[in-house]
């Protein structure tokens, strides 16, 4: 302390003196001289993403509205789902348009997933069904009853997403109306259901997304509980991740990397859905224990001046074989929406 006094004398206090002045004097002496900017090693130790404004290739008259679903198949083709025809559009990772198709029964297509055999599953909360299609759009199977709501083995109430196991079992988040998960076998026969509205372990509040890891565990994103709850295939809750994000979409890679998109955790306000409107946009990468490995934030878009790299309420997420990221946005009152590609930038680049 004597050495400090010699190097940096502390002024004496007058009767009206301020301790803040003393603190400022001491801290000013202790502050190191700033390192010249030219001396910093400008090497990125953090992984990053860069928007690709050329992806996807599309004509100027190609409309997009509510890009609610994204998926990458085993051939690394990117499937996009939106609310206007053609609702299903497929692109190569370089942005080349491959093909598209529509279905007359689509009302509010909300989620797309590709099963291990390459068939396409569309969840539509407007027509109350989950439907299986061939890659070219031929209808193969319907779960639920078209245009009928309910809460039983043959009806959904505004389903939100689906996932298919290697054995062909299907798990559906019946999320906007019923707050449950419904299990069907590979032939589409009802097996089981679980979940009631609530906040306790095993209960659900707006289950909005679902994904499966290599061990068959199911990850359910509950938007109105700001948590991800993990289940086995019988419906037993294995754990939950809280205080991380408000999960809108989940994607799990073959390496069991769990990607979650959404916004920061929020507390309830006046809006009917927790966290709406979001104040930020984020993507997290976790392992299957819930450990956060990577975190990125993206600027919220101005709906009247959309710019590449900005997100207008992130809703859908997918990751290709290179680790590049695909995000879709859905802001309620925006006139148009986008699917965007973000190129992964490795540490050291």
For 217-240, give the DSSP string: -EEEEEGGGTEEEEE-TTS-EEEE
Q: What is the mean pLDDT of residues 269-278?
A: 89
- CA atoms of 62 and 78, how far apart (whole Å): 17
Number of Cβ within 10 Å of residue 185's Cβ equals 13
Q: Per residue in 7-45, pLDDT tens?
A: 444 344 344 444 434 344 444 445 566 667 678 988 999
* Residue from 265, 213, 208, 274 nearest 238 by CA: 213
Determine the 3-state secondary structure of 176 from DSSP: coil
Whole-number pLDDT of residue 6? 43
Q: Per residue in 72-120, pLDDT tens?
A: 999 999 999 999 999 999 999 999 999 999 999 999 999 999 999 999 9
Report how far apart, in Å, the C-alpha atoms of 1 and of each of 4, 20, 26, 135 are.
Answer: 5, 19, 12, 75
Whole-number pLDDT of residue 12? 42
- CA atoms of 286 and 252, how far apart (whole Å): 10
- CA atoms of 30 and 42, how far apart (whole Å): 26
Do 263 and 271 touch, CB atoms closer than 8 A?
no
Whole-number pLDDT of residue 275? 87
Whole-number pLDDT of residue 16? 42
What the block records as the tokens of 212 is 């499966």
Q: Mean pLDDT of all residues in the chain?
A: 91
What is the torsional sign of CA 263, 265, 269, 272?
positive
Query: Mean pLDDT lowest for which of 32-36, 282-286, 336-340?
Result: 32-36
- CA atoms of 206 and 149, how far apart (whole Å): 16
Q: Per residue in 160-202, pLDDT tens?
A: 999 999 999 999 999 999 999 999 999 999 999 999 999 999 9
Measure the CA angle with vertex 80, ends 77 and 81; round to 5°.
Answer: 150
Q: What percent of the chain has pLDDT over 70?
A: 89
Whole-number pLDDT of residue 135? 98
DSSP bridge partners of 79? 71, 90
Q: What is the mean pLDDT of residues 334-347?
A: 96
All CATH 2.120.10.30 domain ranges in the chain, comma separated: 44-345
Q: Where are the alpha helices (DSSP H) in the chain?
A: 2-7, 19-30
Which helix (H) or strand (E) covers residue 88, if one does?
strand 88-91
Q: Tokens 């946005």 identify what position?
A: 329
- CA atoms of 123 and 96, how far apart (whole Å): 26
Whole-number pLDDT of residue 8? 43
Q: What is the mean pLDDT of residues 265-286?
A: 93
pLDDT at 325 over 60: yes
Report the CATH architecture of 44-345. 6 Propeller (2.120)
Whole-number pLDDT of residue 58? 82
What is the torsional sign of CA 40, 46, 47, 49?
negative
Query: Mean pLDDT lowest for which of 15-29, 193-207, 214-228, 276-290?
Result: 15-29
* Residue from 91, 37, 44 nearest 64 by CA: 91
DSSP state at residue 204: B
Measure the CA angle with vertex 61, ends 57 and 67; round to 5°.
Answer: 65
Determine the 3-state secondary structure of 23 from DSSP: helix
Report how far apart, in Å, the C-alpha atoms of 289 and of each of 46, 54, 106 are.
Answer: 22, 36, 37
- CA atoms of 299 and 333, how far apart (whole Å): 18
- CA atoms of 208 and 87, how far apart (whole Å): 20
- CA atoms of 219 and 232, how far apart (whole Å): 9
pLDDT at 259 over 70: yes
Residue 2 φ/ψ, nearest 5 degrees:
-65, -40
Whole-number pLDDT of residue 28? 47
Whole-number pLDDT of residue 59? 77
pTM: 0.89
């Amino acid at each position: 302390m004597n050495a400090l006094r010699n190097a940096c004398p502390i002024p004496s206090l007058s009767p009206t003196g301020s301790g803040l002045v003393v603190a400022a004097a001491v801290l000013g002496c202790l502050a190191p001289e700033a390192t010249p900017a030219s001396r910093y090693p400008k090497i990125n130790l953090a992984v990053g993403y860069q928007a690709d404004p050329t992806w996807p290739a599309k004509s100027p008259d190609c409309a997009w509205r509510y890009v609610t679903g994204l998926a990458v198949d085993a051939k690394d083709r990117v499937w996009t789902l939106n609310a206007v025809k053609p609702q299903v559009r497929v692109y190569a990772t370089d942005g080349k348009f491959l093909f598209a198709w529509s279905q007359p029964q689509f009302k509010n297509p909300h989620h797309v997933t590709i099963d291990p055999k390459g068939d396409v599953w569309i969840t539509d909360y407007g027509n109350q069904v989950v439907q299986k299609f061939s890659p070219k759009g031929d209808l193969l199977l319907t779960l639920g009853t078209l245009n009928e709501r309910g809460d039983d083995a043959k009806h959904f109430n505004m389903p939100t997403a689906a996932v298919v196991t290697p054995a062909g079992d299907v798990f559906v988040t019946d999320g906007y109306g019923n707050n449950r998960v419904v299990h069907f076998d590979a032939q589409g026969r009802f097996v089981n259901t679980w979940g009631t509205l609530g906040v306790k372990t095993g209960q659900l509040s707006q289950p909005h997304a679902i994904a499966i890891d290599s061990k068959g565990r199911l990850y359910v994103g509950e938007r109105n509980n700001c948590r991800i709850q993990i289940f086995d295939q019988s419906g037993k809750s294995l754990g939950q991740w809280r205080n991380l994000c408000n999960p809108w979409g989940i994607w799990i890679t073959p390496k069991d990397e769990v990607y979650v998109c959404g916004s920061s955790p929020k507390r309830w306000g006046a809006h009917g859905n927790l966290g709406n409107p979001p104040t930020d946009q984020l993507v997290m990468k976790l392992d299957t224990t819930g450990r956060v490995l990577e975190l990125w934030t993206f600027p919220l878009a101005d709906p009247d001046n959309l710019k590449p790299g900005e997100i207008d309420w992130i809703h859908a997420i997918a990751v290709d074989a290179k680790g590049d990221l695909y995000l879709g946005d859905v802001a309620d009152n925006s006139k148009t929406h986008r699917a965007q590609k973000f190129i992964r930038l490795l540490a050291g680049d």
